[in-house]
A and B are shown apart, each in its own frame.
Chain A
């Protein structure tokens, strides 16, 4: 059994590292669990969307499909934000504080941009939550994902501040790396939602 037993009856672990990245760390599994939950919620809401659609003659119900412009722009921005996010993750795993600071700030700027655009998206949905079931489920999807954008942006903001002010220790780099993983999730889960909200009504 590694690391070796010095004397029988004793398993000495004092040389083990005090933190590690990826699925070695508890934080990774915590984040993974949250991602499963939220992924499930998105999946069910999308299922509800198509369930309602299957019970309706016209789709979208007496409303025009959402305009593509802002949604598409935002998708691009979100995808682009994965680059600084990735670099922040790498820097964190190299324990490179300077780079971490830089890329976290860049990520924050991105998050401000896509939150701004998200507001415009809501204005271009062409339906209200209380006009019919179609509007309700579209707004539900958008609201759910926006909640994730906001919380993730806020998490990153707090973490960034911490990276500048300290107090710092090794496991904070793990936090940065897990925060980046969660960011991936928020971006990638947007793609199916984008397809459903903006393209499903067009087919």
Chain B
């Protein structure tokens, strides 16, 4: 386990997240892709903190912020899905092809 391998694993996770977020039609599956991207980012930040940051506490704060971002993304994402579903009965991205109305 060295910095390069940790970052490579993080890159693969991010790549899978990008692929999932772009290819999935369902809102919730799309959000899963985004979560997986943040997962990769957290791993990368943790790896850099441990190997290149000399254990600076600010590095850990960054990870905590990433987790907060994930929580916010989730909460707002689900709230939007509920709002859209309530208004349009749609839970797929194509279901709201037009944003009017």
Chains A and B come from one and the same complex? no
